[in-house]
Structure 1
Amino acid sequence: MKITLIGHNTLLIEAAGARILTDPYFGPRGNPFYMRLSPPARPPEALREVDAVLVSHNHWDHIDRHFFRLLPGQTPIFAPHLTAWETRLYGGRHVVGLRPWQSVSLGEIEIHAVPAVHLVPTVGFVIRAEGLQIYFAGDTFYAPFMKQIGDRFALDVALIPVTTYRPPMTMNEREAVLATRDLAPRLVIPVHLGLDMRLPLLRTGQTPQGYIRRLLEAGLDIPVKLLKEGETWQNQPVTS
């Protein structure tokens, strides 16, 4: 299995012969309030042949209309049930709406929608493939259901957001530590780090490095991998 950070919350997950893209966002500059810190590692045209797309919610930095129009009509897009219709308006054609704890199969891969809480309807996803379980949180605040997710799935990797600006859109350093405690993954990869506020007064100073420090202070010995745009984490097969 490979996980490549394209940028922000857009990741390419390659497993069991399939390629899955999360929360596609390829805008180069952000908007009047948010600035993109670095361009995506690949252009949308290079990823149009993926096998599926996971959409956690309908915010502009997670749902790219131009990319959806590039997708072949048969490519499935899995999105929250309540926003599946909106995803179709954005250009998605084969949209499957999922509620928390519903699941679908993609060849040898299982995709499970899990609870999430945000400003709009949202879900997270757990991907089961090649004997591994990967949690993609999307955008979510910390909530007690994370203990349910951790209890139901023996997570190998958790892709969790850390917010560096206000108003908070996901978890801050402290909340990300609580989520990590409840999820109990073997590895954490922080995501949602590709934007910052244009106004300095709205920047919080929260960083993935601060999250790592708080993890250690909490006595949680869970490895954290910081990926740069274009960098790939790959599971190393166990050798005897």
Structure 2
Amino acid sequence: MGCQLTHIGGPTVLIELDGWRILTDPTFDPPGRRYEFGFGTSSTKTSGPALAPAEIGPIDVVLLSHDHHADNLDDRGRELLQTAGTVVTTVAGARRLDSSNVAGLRTGGLVALDGPGRPALTVRATPCRHGPPLSSPITGPVVGFALSLADVGQVALWMTGDTVLHRPLRRIAQRLDVDILLMHLGGVQFPITGPLRYSMNSSDARELIRLTGPRVSVPVHYEGWSHFREPSTQARDRLPGVTWLEPGQATDVGPP
């Protein structure tokens, strides 16, 4: 299995996996704008994308963990969705996007994709809780994605999506045989809700890596927005041995 990862910025990663070109959570707006997330929460984008959409090339699949927060899908990212082969997101997101190329999944659901000259690709939705207990009706539905290739027993890549480390995530981490783990971190907090957290931090990442046992672990979505509370320097100190991507540069994380 060959795999290259290019970190565009925030949660946006180009995954080149055995002939498939896959983009996660497209965010391409320039920095400086403040976005409202609802219920008195907001965040300012502090850094822009390393690459523009025109520099990325054609996209076969977009993995959109959720469509209703601008740090996972912004205005320029929405424009890109129209040109992608298939967009996979939540059921609620698919209804809102209302396009023939969008498939909506609930946790555990899957989409099977075929393409000429490459192995069949299965995308399965994995559980997320984007905040503390009982927050899901407020934060909205979110999913992660486990990617599997035909005739390969393990999960080629697992993108966690925006989530805290909760019981369903622990259970799926112990069940999946994961090669590459793509983790959304940052320790998101908002002044209005004090110490409550809405995404994983480096301590959670260590535990998730222990439970999953991947060959390669890659943190993303940990800087570039004002609502991230764990400094990236602290995360790097606490997560030795993981793969930190250089924005805009393709990194080979294929077979050892």
Gaps of 5+ in 1: 217-222
| CA 94–137 in structure 1, closer or farther in 2 if over 3 Å, else same | same
Mapped to 2, the partners of 1:43 and 1:61 lie a distance apart of 16
Name the structure 1 match of 2:15.
Answer: 13
Residues 1:38 and 1:138: Cα distance change in structure 2 (over 3 Å): same
8 Å CA contact 2:62–2:84 kept in 1: the answer is: no
SS at 1:28 equivalent:
coil
Q: TM-score, normalised by structure 1?
A: 0.81
Indicate yes or no: 2:230 matched with 1:228: no
Aligned partner of residue 195 in structure 1, secondary structure: coil
Mapped partners of 1:191, 1:110: distance in 2: 22
Confirm or deny: 8 A CA contact 2:58 2:84 kept in the other structure: no
One-letter code aligned to 1:112: R
Q: 1:220 maps to which residue?
A: none
- When residues 161 and 72 of structure 1 are mapped into structure 2, their CA distance, relative to the original with a 3 A threshold, is closer
Q: What is the root-mean-square deviation of aligned Cα atoms in Å?
A: 2.5
* Separation (CA, whole Å) in 2 of partners of 1:12 and 1:74: 13
For the 8 Å contact 1:190–1:208, the answer to whether it is kept is no
- The range that moved more, 11-20 or 180-189, is 180-189
Q: What is the CA deviation profile of residues 51-108 of structure 1, one whole-angstrom value per residue up to 9, with x for unaligned ones? A: 11111012111113434334556721100112211233xxx54110001111112222
CA distance in 1, matches of 2:25, 2:111: 18
Structure 2, gaps ≥5 residues long: 35-41, 115-119, 131-138, 191-196
Identical-residue share of aligned pairs (%):
30
Residue aligned with 2:89, SS? strand
Equivalent runs, 1:59-98 vs 2, <5 Å: 59-72=69-82, 75-88=85-98, 92-98=99-105
Q: Is the 8 A contact 1:164 1:196 kept in 2?
A: no
Could you tell me which residue of structure 2 aligns to residue 116 of structure 1? 128
In structure 1, what is the equivalent of residue 203 of structure 2? 174
Tell me, yes or no, if the aligned pair for 1:173 and 1:211 is still in contact at 8 Å: yes
Cα displacement string for residues 99-136 of structure 1 (whole angstroms, at most 9, x for unaligned residues): 11111122221111111111220000011238452110
1:148 paired residue among 163, 171, 196: 171
Q: Which whole-Å CA distance do the structure 2 matches of 1:157 and 1:76 have between them?
A: 22
- 1:140 CA displacement: 0.6
Tell me what 1:219 maps to.
Answer: none
Pair 1:52-2:54 in alignment: no
For 1:196, the equivalent position in structure 2 comes to: 225
1:188: how far off? 1.2
The amino acid that maps onto 1:106 is L
Alignment length (residue pairs): 224
Aligned counterparts of 2:202 and 2:113: Cα–Cα separation in 1: 34
Would you say 1:207 and 2:207 are equivalent positions? no
